Amino acid sequence: MSRPVTIKDIAKKFKCSPSTVSRALNNHPVINEDTRRNLQEYARKVGYQRNQVSLNLLNKKTASIGVVVPTINNYYESAIIEGIDSVLQPLGYSLNICVTNEQFLLEQGYVEKLLSNRVEGIFVSVSQETYDAGHYEHFENIYNRNLPLIFIDREYEGFAVGSVTIDDYHGAFAAVEHLIKTGRRRIAHLRGPQSMSVAEQRFRGYSECLKQYGFEEDESLIIHTDFKVESAIKPVYHLLDLPSRPDAIFCVNDQTAIGAMKVIRDQGLDIPGEIAVAGFDDSPISGYISPSLTSVMRPGRQLGMKAARIFLDYQLADKKDTFSEHIILPPQLVVRESTLGE
């Protein structure tokens, strides 16, 4: 409650002008040695702390960056944020992290708030509801303010100065190719929500790979999930009950893969002997569960760092109106026990 000490307070106390106090505290060379020492000492004693808010207004700079993401409670997303932070924090920027929970209205609200707070750039990973609704005006607002908008992981084509995404298509392709090359013939897919582009890309990778290797795509082997462990349970029971059971399951992420493995084990089937399982994300535990899980690694931290670099490059660019940088990072298949022999 007690109002923080201001420069004016100190000036009044010392019967001098605020300018003198300001310069003294900033070690401006024009200030008398004694004056400087006295003022600095007093400022420390009363716990003066410069008001950054007023400086932000004066300098029209806030050194803060908006980061709008659907969630932060999984390894990949937080790795992205960590990557951005690792580049921008040392330069004095601070991140304003906004969690949309996949809700369009929250995303929209956060963007407005960030603009109003005069952040110097906005990183966005588009929420699912936004894709569903097809409303992208809030991104247009960012664009109209000439503020750098950079999409991370989940992009929208338009209004962006840059984007860094993962080549989910080829990641999925590689995983399925690996399954085929290790002799699997009926490969099922636990698909993600249709509205999410990452999930769709993985499905495409799955689908195209089957086609290229001359396999028929079997509708009954493709089931939707919502990314969560639990959502894999029922679909996998269903898959195992099919007259001609699949001999491999490619899962849209590690969570569903773990759910799948549980069901398969509970049914007394052997992994990878009878059914191979592959996931997507390479979460930290995937190497330690049993059997260890084959998975497609997404370089989240690197993605964040690249996105931050794009932002910095944009700041330096002379022809900002033509600046545009879109990076697609390759994921990497990590083969483990769940798709191989012991």
Q: Can you tell me the distance from the alpha carbon of 245 to that of 339, in angstroms, rounded to the nearest whole number?
A: 16
Structure tokens at 45: 């004693």
- At residue 298, φ and ψ (nearest 5 deg) are -110, 125
Across-strand partners of 66? Answer: 96, 122
35 contacts DNA (rule: CB under 7 A) = yes
114 contacts DNA (rule: CB under 7 A) = no
261: partner contacted, choices its own copies, DNA, none (Cβ within 5-8 A by kind): its own copies
Q: Give the range of 18-26, 69-77, 162-170, 209-217 binding its own copies by CB under 8 A.
A: 69-77
Q: Which of 252, 230, 66, 80 is nearest to 153 (CA)?
A: 80
Residue with tokens 């020492």: 37
Out of 9, 103, 118, 335, name the contact with its own copies by CB under 8 A. Answer: 118
185 contacts DNA (rule: CB under 7 A) = no
CA distances 257 to 122, 125, 177, 296, 330, Å, are: 33, 24, 17, 12, 21
* Shortest distance (Å) from residue 26 CB to its own copies: 14
- Binding marks (x or -) toward DNA, 46..75, rule CB under 7 A? --x-xx--xx-xx-x---------------
CA distances 31 to 19, 27, 78, 278, 305, Å, are: 10, 8, 47, 68, 42
* Shortest distance (Å) from residue 295 CB to its own copies: 13
284: partner contacted, choices DNA, its own copies, none (Cβ within 5-8 A by kind): its own copies
* Shortest distance (Å) from residue 51 CB to DNA: 3
Which is nearer to DNA, 41 or 266 (by Cβ)? 41
CA distances 259 to 51, 129, 254, 329, Å, are: 51, 25, 9, 28
* Shortest distance (Å) from residue 68 CB to its own copies: 12
Structure tokens at 181: 């090359």
Instruction: Please report, to the nearest 10 degrees, the dihedral formed by the alpha carbons of residues 101, 104, 107, 113 taken in order.
Output: -130
Q: Give the range of 31-39, 297-305, 318-326, 333-341 binding DNA by CB under 7 A.
A: 31-39
Out of 144, 195, 212, 220, name the contact with its own copies by CB under 8 A. Answer: 144
Binding site for its own copies (CB under 8 A): 1-4, 47, 49-54, 56-57, 60, 62, 72-75, 78-79, 81-82, 85, 94-99, 112-113, 115-118, 141, 144-146, 229, 255, 258-259, 261-262, 265, 284-285, 287-290, 292, 320
